[in-house]
Amino acid sequence: MTDPAAAVEPGVDIHEHAGIGDPNAHHHSPEQIRKEMRVYLAVFIGLAVLTAITVGACYGLNLPVHQAIIVALIIASIKGFLVAGFFMHLLSEKKVIYGILILTAIFFVFLMTLPISHHANPFGS
């Protein structure tokens, strides 16, 4: 099968656009891929430990509600960073994806602030 990208830009190897550690590059050396697999396993252990800490801190210690919320959300955010950063490769992604996610984050924050604006609205009740 002809590579359409090569047809568009003759003489340019499209694979050279992707650098080391780039998840879009599928021409990594086997050593590089095996190294990534070890990282995935390390992240898994980290996520498992953080889950145990979340349960221990919120459930075992029986913290007051506001403290439980803060602790749980901080740990959940760290776990979210690990999943998004390593499993979804967002630590080394393309600018287009960052652009999509920044736009999404703006709308997401707006959604989260809607309840606050509702409670601040004197005509709301």
Partner 1 sequence: MDAHASVGHAELEIPYNVHPRPDTGLYNAKLGVWLFLASEVMLFGALFSSLILLRTGADSWPRGYEFLNVKLATFNTFILILSSVTVVMAWSHLRLGNLKKGRIYISATVFCALVFLTAKGFEYAHEFRENRFPKTNNFLAIYFTMTGLHGLHILGGVIVFLYFLGPGAKMWAKEPERYTNRIEIVGLYWHFVDLVWIFLFPILYLM
Query: Which residues contact partner 1 (rule: CB under 8 A)?
Result: 1-5, 8-9, 12, 14-15, 17-18, 23-24, 26, 28, 30, 33-34, 36-37, 40-41, 43-44, 47-48, 51, 54-55, 58-59, 65, 68-69, 72-73, 75-76, 79-80, 83-84, 87-88, 94, 96-97, 100-101, 103-104, 107-108, 111-112, 114-115, 118-119
The least CB distance from residue 46 to partner 1, in Å, is: 10
Q: What whole-number distance in Å separates Cα of residue 39 and Cα of residue 33? A: 10
The least CB distance from residue 76 to partner 1, in Å, is: 5
Complete DSSP assignment for 18-75: S-TT-TT-----HHHHHHHHHHHHHHHHHHHHHHHHHHIIIIIS---HHHHHHHHHHH
